[in-house]
Amino acid sequence: MNLSTCNPSWPEIRDHLIEGDEGKNRPDLVVRVFHAKLEKLKDELFKKNIFGKVAAYTYVIEFQKRGLPHAHFLLILKPQYKMYRLDEYDKIVSAEIPDKKKYPHL
């Protein structure tokens, strides 16, 4: 799972910039917002079990050349939650922009 690269246009970043400033000039703010979103994602994965109960995991945070962080997760689900058929993956993986009306939370 790849947590999207931090976006300097996120409202949580833009709302705290002084007029005329840009997110790239405030790495402290960018990283704080990214960390907050990362913690929320970890809560969804490990406490709310959105993909099922996790047996083990690891993740790494990387910084792109522009200084924006992103995270990669490796999740190992408990046997009863593992997916074995394509249609099971199709329920959670999408390679298109989701419909705002059908999936407002995305």
- Total count of domains within the chain: 1
Give a yes or no: residue 55 inside a domain.
yes
Non-local (6+) Cβ contacts of 51 within 8 A are: 45, 75, 77, 81, 92
Give a yes or no: residue 104 inside a domain.
no
Q: Looking at the predicted structure, is the pLDDT value of residue 34 above 60?
A: yes
Q: Looking at the predicted structure, is the pLDDT value of residue 65 above 50?
A: yes
Q: Looking at the predicted structure, is the pLDDT value of residue 2 above 80?
A: no
Give a yes or no: residue 102 inside a domain.
no
Q: From 46, 26, 33, 25, select the one nearest 5 (Cα to Cα).
A: 33
Give a yes or no: residue 103 inside a domain.
no
Domain, as residue range, for 27 = 2-90
**pLDDT given at position 68:** 87
Identity of the highest mean pLDDT range in 5-9, 12-16, 66-70:
12-16
Give a yes or no: residue 95 inside a domain.
no
In eight-state DSSP terms, residue 33 is H
